[in-house]
Amino acid sequence: MTTYYSKDHEWIAVEGDIATVGITTYAQEQLGDVVYVELPDAGKTVSQGDEAAVVESVKAASEVYAPIDGEVTEANTVLADEPAKVNEDPEGAAWFIKMKVGNPDQLSELMDEAAYKAYVDTL
């Protein structure tokens, strides 16, 4: 399994042709207490940069963009009832969606962990 990171503070863990997408610890810290998560239905096809989910905290509502093209195969519906999980375990149990990788070439445009850490340090 390889994990990639986007400039929009998402992590993308790829295993075979399935990518699991969530928001990073940094994103969760910036948002503050998450109070609401809206997820897409399985079967929805998204293009890179499309709005895939919405996450709302006490401070702000933010879009979660699809980091790559693909078809949503599963959404983590637990988050709808327990949005606090996004604060507790953002890079684990609180994944947002799983999607079928549509275009593997797009993965190479994303960052690895070291590059993402360096990127966050510049913010």
Partner 1 sequence: MSMNTQGRPTAPGEAGERFRPKTFTGNRGLDMEEPLIFEFGGLETSGVDLDEPDDLEFELGSHKRTASINLPGLAEPEAMRHFVRLSRNNYAIDSGLYPLGSCTMKHNPRLNEKMARLPGFGDIHPLQPVSTVPGALELIDELAHWLMVMTGTEAVAMSPKAGAHGELCGMMAIKAAHTAAGRSPEIVLVPESAHGTNPATAALLGYKVVAIAAKDDGTVALQALKETIAKHDGNIAGIMLTNPNTCGLFERDIMEIADLIHAAGGYFYCDGANFNAIVGKARPGDLGVDAMHINLHKTFSTPHGGGGPGSGPVVLSERLAPFAPLPFIRKTVDGLDLVETEAAVYDGERPFGRMTAFHGQMGMYVRALAYMQSHGSDGLRQASEDAVLNANYVRVGLQDLMTLPYGERPCMHEVLFDDSFLKNTGVTTLDFAKAMIDEGYHPMTMYFPLVVHGAMLIEPTESESRASLDLFIATMRDLVMSAQRGESERFSGAPYLAPRRRLDETGAARKPVLKWTMPEPAEVTPVAAE
Residues found near partner 1 in the complex (CB under 8 A): 30, 33, 35-36, 56, 58-61, 83-84
Contacts 24+ apart (CB under 8 A), 80-85: 80/37, 80/38, 80/39, 83/34, 83/35, 83/36, 83/37, 83/55, 83/56, 84/33, 84/34
> Shortest distance, CB of residue 58 to partner 1, whole angstroms?
5
| C-beta closer to partner 1: residue 85 or 98 | 85
Return the closest-CA partner of residue 86 out of 34, 42, 29, 17.
34
> Shortest distance, CB of residue 62 to partner 1, whole angstroms?
8
> Shortest distance, CB of residue 106 to partner 1, whole angstroms?
17
Distance (Å, rounded) from C-alpha 108 to C-alpha 67?
11
> Shortest distance, CB of residue 30 to partner 1, whole angstroms?
8
| C-beta closer to partner 1: residue 84 or 118 | 84
How many CB atoms are closer than 10 A to CB 118?
A: 10
| C-beta closer to partner 1: residue 37 or 75 | 37
| C-beta closer to partner 1: residue 67 or 83 | 83
